[in-house]
Amino acid sequence: MDIFAPTASLHAGAIWPEVVVTLTLLLVLVVDLVGGSSVRKSLPVLSILGLVGALVTLVLQWQQPQPESFLGSFAADPVSILFRGLVVGTALLTVMMAERYIVQSGTATGEFYVLLLTATVGGMFLSGATDLIMVFVALETLGIASYLMAGYTKKDPRSSEAALKYLLIGASSTAIFLYGMSLLYGLSGGQTHLEAIALHMGDAGLVGIIALVLCIGGIGFKLAAVPFHQWTPDVYEGSPTPVVAFLSVGSKAAGFALAVRFLATVFPAMTEEWQAVLSVLAILTMVLGNVVAITQTRLKRLLAYSSIGQAGFVLIGLVVGTEAGYASLIFYLLVYLVMNLGAFLCITLFSLKTGTDEINEYSGLYQKDPFLTLCLSICLLSLGGLPPLAGFFGKLYLFWAGWQAGAYTLVLVGLVTSVISIYYYVRVVKTIVVKEPQEMSVSVQNYPETNWQEEGMQALRVGMVFTLVATIFAGILSNPLFTLSTQAVEQSPFLGFPTAQAPTSESTRLQARVDGALGAFTTADG
Amino acid sequence: MLSVLIALPILGSLLLFLGLGGRKLAVVLSGIPLAISLLLFRGFDLQTAGMQWLERWDWIPQVGLNYSLGLDGLSLLMVALNGLITLIAVLTTEPDVKRPNLFYGLILLMSGAVNGAFAAQNLILFFLFYELVLIPIYLLISIWGSGKRDYAAIKFLIYTAVSAIFLLGAFLAIYWIGDPHSFELAEIRIADFSPAVQTLLLLAVIVAFGIKMPLIPFHTWLPDAYGESSPPVAMLLGGALSKLGTYGLFRFGLQLLPQAWADLGGILAWWGAIAVLAGALAAIAQKDIKRMVAYSSIGHMGYILLGMAAATPISLTGVMVQMVSHGLILALLFDLVGLVERKVGTRDLDVLNGLLNPIRGLPGISALLILGGMASAGIPGLVGFVAEFLIFQGSYSDFPLPTLIGILGTGLTAVYFVILLNRTCFGKLDNRTAYYPRVENWERIPGVTLAALILWFGIQPMNLVKWPQPLAFTLSTQVAQAQTIMLAEATDLAE
């Protein structure tokens, strides 16, 4: 039974996953309103179930992608499905991370999940939006929900400051993006559909360039690419850790989805221009993100700069703009999801128990909490790109694709900055693993016994185990994942890489059908 | 078969990390790969210079990463050496080492990865194993080291990571320039590359492995890393890990890029000769036994470069023998230095004295130290002489002057080892401090085993020489061919 049957021409089935998340959102809101504090425990469970449901519908959609729906304003092609999966996956792990955090911080429960799910829906719509208005509405849904989440622990002045800063920079960059979009609308003679705009961009001249730069400014803010990165360190430091985790992966993935779709669809006529601009951004992002991370003393701030650096690595895939480039971009974001969220899960656990995220306070942790030590070390080493972890293979693909396309400078900068990144990741590992018992920090000396029975701790543990296992094995067993991302790139029409096999298999199938028919005909004849 | 050599130590290390086992398990797990590699010697086909025991599975074929393994004479020797040194390092470890499971686990993990690198027939697979060594060795130095271990470990880490940049850059270039695009050693045809590209690639390879070996301007991590690590770790570093550098230079420099190699031969020979001299002179100036041994190691890498530069059958055989001999001798010296430090409590040449005293000194250890020093300095009857003599004999025809400088370096090696032996073994014991603990029997086993091997290979060198010989002959013809082609082209141009 398809409830969208009357509106079949809209292909409304394309947004089933979003519908599931939206219904969950409403359900959480209503349950919270009606049940009050007695149903507090059921809210994260509801959210998790809803997000898992969304993942399942996404998997089902993978069988039947819908490149055109809602009169051309939304695409559910494979690339969009993967990016939406990334956003949902991030939200799922964020809920697991947040349950205990919310309980312990004493803030309201229901609203957090509602905001998170709203941001998720925004990110999902952004991943498939193919219309200027749609892009803007989805972007703002994600953005406003993020501002609210950043200032969620409102009694903490740092959280409020983070929210204010995020809002100011976010609102102005949205305005810049909006101005770029209005130029595009004007240039194309009143088109809002991305592909329709592209037809008019060939002879856009200087105004086209201005529109491009304004759009890159708006997108660069979401990716935290230098020089649009300045909000990141302060927001990451001040906001609640689960929110930071969501921003660092989910929001970033949505930003990359937007970047891939927007640049590839609207500006194919200006490929050289945007590739030049983005190469500069990529180099700046890799260098600044990784160099400044060295001097950080707080782990959340260190991960803020590291996430800037990581975005720089991912930009390599976007800049080269080849099939392998996009595929390695998607693959890297997939593994980045598990390793970065794994690291944030560990930070959350540590700060829940000690109330700090100073790197020095982690000294000697291996004695008190071996599991946390293992998980955090593996995730950080994977972020540094050490074999045989997932991050190594992710970087290998990115550099491989970069070299294939002849982007030697980018690859070399990437290689050098990953060595720098190894230094600061290993420095944290050193603090945790190497320090002697007598060098243990005060926090670790008073480290409480972990009680996994407390509310929300089980979810945290499940999340940690999942990310740990995935970080270890997603690299060694990366073949299916890599095939998945390559397929997605090949089968998404907007990127313009027609599958090599698809036409032939189509024609052979046709041939077979003709043969079959003929065979039936001849046998009937004989 | 080869996969067992890699998988067994790595899986074993996981067991140890989980807290199962301990020293006994570590001994068993490091003994089995050694036993397997010794068995492989029996099945080795001496008639072929190619790879044997090939294994190949597709791993990630989209990017050209295959799990493909194989061994030839050189890698077989290296795998056996690595197995031996790992076992010896485990045996040398003090039973009351702190955090034993992590320690043995890291050693096994590293040993498995080193085996993997020696057996890898795919460039990216090699790179993967090469990088895999990084974190275990970093932790081994920085947890169990002495004094300035933090500094030494991070320096080592960064140097090695930088070396990996050059390596990955070169490998990616080989992949994308080559036709067909492949990381498989057997499928790469370099001959179509332009000479300029080959030279660039070779330079990248030389820098990458020159850091690891190390060669003279890239060596500054070594005295710190060797000096600050505990004896078993120093053994692994010098005995097995530095071979990764020489092996890589051999496999990916000489064997993969013979034309560029022939082109640069003269420079490399001089480079090697200078390294020999510099290493020896720097060793003479040291006051700490461990640092002295460390610099001696730099000098010995010079011979390897010299022999490789000449690329005659004899010198290449010598190079491969030298890799084994250097591994054995360095392991012996680090074992003995570690014992002296543990019993006497110092490594300072100004404090040590009279250890050869039969009753109150450490006579057994001192005797072995004398033997090890002599082997290192190239005294006949010991394996060091065989290797150095082969290198000198093979290189003299091509590069007489650098060879003579190399021989001079051997003399200087003798000088600093005599200084070392004179200051430690001879003289009188200080009566106030000379109450050294007894040397237990288990502590003697590693030293005696290594000394016996050094002596045996020195007297019966064919047991060592015959394995790498086929490879040496094939390679030297390749380089010679490349050289004639180059000369022919040069004369063409001249005409």
Alpha-carbon distance values, A106 to A102, A152, A180 (Å): 6, 11, 42
Closest partner CB to A400 (pick from B59, B63, B165): B63
Q: Which of A381, A412, A415 sits opposite B135 (nearest CB)?
A: A381
Residue A522: the pLDDT is 45
Please answer yes or no on whether A482 and B62 come within 8 Å at the CB atom. Answer: yes
Torsion of CA A53, A55, A59, A62, to 10 degrees: 120
A239 dihedral zone (left: phi>0; alpha: psi -120 to 50; beta): beta
Q: Do A386 and B62 touch (CB under 8 A)?
A: no
Q: How far is B375 from chain A (nearest CA, A)?
A: 37
Secondary structure letter of residue B287 according to DSSP? S
Q: In 3D, which of A343, A350, A440 has the Cα closest to residue A382?
A: A343
Residues 6+ apart with CB under 8 A from A473: A390
Closest chain A C-alpha to B140 CA, distance in angstroms? 9
Contact B20, B72 (CB under 8 A): no
CA angle B230, B232, B236 (to 5 degrees): 115
* Residue contact B132–A387, C-beta within 8 A: yes
CB contacts of B154 in chain A (<8 Å) are 423, 426-427
3-state secondary structure of B68: strand
Query: B173 contacts in A (CB within 8 Å)?
Result: 403
Rounded Cα–Cα distance for residues A437 and A426 (Å) = 19
Residue A501 pLDDT more than 50?
no
Contact residues on chain B for A415, CB-CB shorter than 8 A: 165, 168-169
Q: Is the peptide bond before B214 cis (omega within 30 degrees of 0)?
A: yes
Closest C-alpha to A264, from A212, A312, A321, A219: A321
Report the mean per-residue pLDDT for chain B.
91
Residues A415, B132: C-beta atoms closer than 8 Å: no
Residue A316 to chain B, least CA–CA distance (Å): 15
Task: Spell out which residues of chain A touch residue B161, defining contact as CB-CB under 8 Å.
Answer: 419, 422
Reported as a single tens digit per residue, the pLDDT across B55-107 is 999 998 888 899 999 998 899 999 999 999 999 999 998 888 888 899 999 99
Higher-pLDDT residue of A36, B203: B203
User: SS3 for B366?
Assistant: helix
pLDDT above 70 as % of chain B: 100
CA distance linking residue B406 with residue B223, whole number of Å:
22
A478 contact residues in B (CB cutoff 8 A): 60
Average pLDDT of the residues in B39-62: 88
Residue A320 pLDDT greater than 60, yes or no:
yes
Three-class secondary structure of residue B52 per DSSP? strand
Distance CA B294, CA B224 (A): 9
Query: Strand pairing partners for B348?
Result: B288
Chain B: give the shortest CA distance to residue A224, in Å: 26
For residue B50, how many other CB atoms are within 10 A of its CB? 12
CB pairs under 8 A between A and B: 72
d(C-alpha B84, C-alpha A145), whole Å: 61
At B4, list the tokens: 């067992």
Q: What is the rounded distance in angstroms from the CA atom of residue A129 to the CA atom of residue A75?
A: 6
pLDDT above 90 covers a percentage of chain A that reads: 77
Helix boundaries (H) for A64-77: none
Chain B interface, Cβ < 8 Å to A: 59-63, 65, 124, 128-129, 131-132, 134-135, 138-139, 142-143, 150, 154, 157-158, 161-162, 164-165, 168-169, 172-173, 175-176
Name every chain A residue with its beta carbon within 8 A of the beta carbon of B124: 396
Mean pLDDT of A467-485: 93
Q: Is pLDDT at A328 greater than 90 in this prediction?
A: yes
Residue B177 CB contacts under 8 Å (≥ 6 apart), including other chains? B193, B197
Contact by Cβ (8 Å): A398, A332: yes
User: Is B67 strand, coil or helix?
Assistant: strand
**φ, ψ at B375 (rounded to 5°):** -60, -40
pLDDT for res A4: 53
* Confidence class for position A505, pLDDT limits 50, 70, 90: very low
Q: Please tell me the least confidently modeled range out of A305-319, A491-505, B10-24, B463-477.
A: A491-505
Contact list in B for residue A397 (CB cut-off 8 A) is 63
Instruction: Look at A392 and B131 and tell me if their CB atoms are within 8 Å.
Output: yes
Residues of A in contact with B63 (CB under 8 A): 396-397, 400, 482
Prediction pTM value: 0.93
**Residue linked to tokens 């290979």:** B457
State the Cα–Cα distance between residues B113 and A366, nearest whole angstrom.
24
Q: Is 80 exceeded by the pLDDT of residue A526?
A: no
Picking from A119, A66, A120, A118, the residue whose alpha carbon sits closest to that of residue A89 is: A120
Compute the average pLDDT of residues A419-438.
92
Closest to A223 in 3D by CA, of A268, A177, A266, A254: A254
How far does the CA of residue B199 sit from the closest CA of chain A (Å)? 18
In the structure, how many helices (H) and strands (E) does chain A have? Answer: 22, 2
Cβ separation B128–A388 shorter than 8 A: yes
Q: What is the mean pLDDT of chain A?
A: 90
Return the SS3 of B66.
Answer: strand
Say how far apart CA A476 and CA A471 lie, in whole Å: 10
Judged by CB atoms closer than 8 Å, whether chains meet at A426 and B165 is answered as: no
Q: Are strands B52-60 and B65-71 parallel, antiparallel or unpaired?
A: antiparallel
- Are B165 and A411 within 8 A, CB to CB? no
- From the centroid of its chain, how far is CA B8? 22
Residue B36 CA to residue B173 CA, distance in Å, equals 36
The yes-or-no verdict on residue A525 having pLDDT over 80 is: no
The DSSP 8-state label assigned to residue B462 in this structure reads H
Residue of A nearest to B176 (CA): A404
Identity at B353, one-letter amino acid code: N
User: What's the count of helices (H) and strands (E) in chain B, helices before strands?
Assistant: 20, 2
pLDDT band of B190, cuts 50, 70, 90: confident
Interface test with A, best of B6, B135, B143, B211 (most A CBs within 10 A): B135
Size of chain B in residues:
495
A493's tokens? 């029409």
SS (H, E, C) B290-322: HHHHHHHHHHHHHHHHHHHHHCCHHHHHHHHHH
Q: What is the pLDDT of residues A112-161, one digit of tens each?
A: 999 999 999 999 999 999 999 999 999 999 999 999 999 999 999 999 99
First to last CA, chain A: 45
Nearest CA among B143, B79, B144 for reference residue B116: B79
Cβ of A479 within 8 Å of Cβ of B62? The answer is yes
Cis before residue A227, ω within 30 degrees of 0? yes
Q: How many CA atoms lie within 13 A of B341 on its CB side?
A: 19
Distance from the A451 Cα atom to the nearest Cα atom in chain B, whole angstroms = 21
Contact B172 A426 (CB under 8 A): no
Do the interacting molecules here have an ipTM over 0.90?
yes
Residue A264 distance to chain B (closest CA, Å): 24
* Cβ-nearest to B138 among A392, A411, A426: A426
A386 and B124 in contact by Cβ < 8 A?
no
Statement: residue B495 has pLDDT above 80: no
Interface test with B, best of A323, A335, A389, A419 (most B CBs within 10 A): A419
What whole-number distance in Å separates Cα of residue B340 and Cα of residue B354? 12
Looking at the complex, report in whole angstroms how far the Cα of residue B457 sits from the nearest Cα belonging to chain A: 37
Q: pLDDT tens digit string along B118-140?
A: 999 999 999 999 999 999 999 99
Q: Which of A396, A419, A429 sits opposite B161 (nearest CB)?
A: A419
User: How many of the other CB atoms lie within 10 Å of CB of B119?
Assistant: 25
Nearest-CA distance A254 → chain B (Å)? 27
Residues composing chain A: 526
The 10s digit of each residue's pLDDT in A340-357 is 999 999 999 999 999 888
CA-wise closest residue to B390 among B473, B330, B452, B312: B312
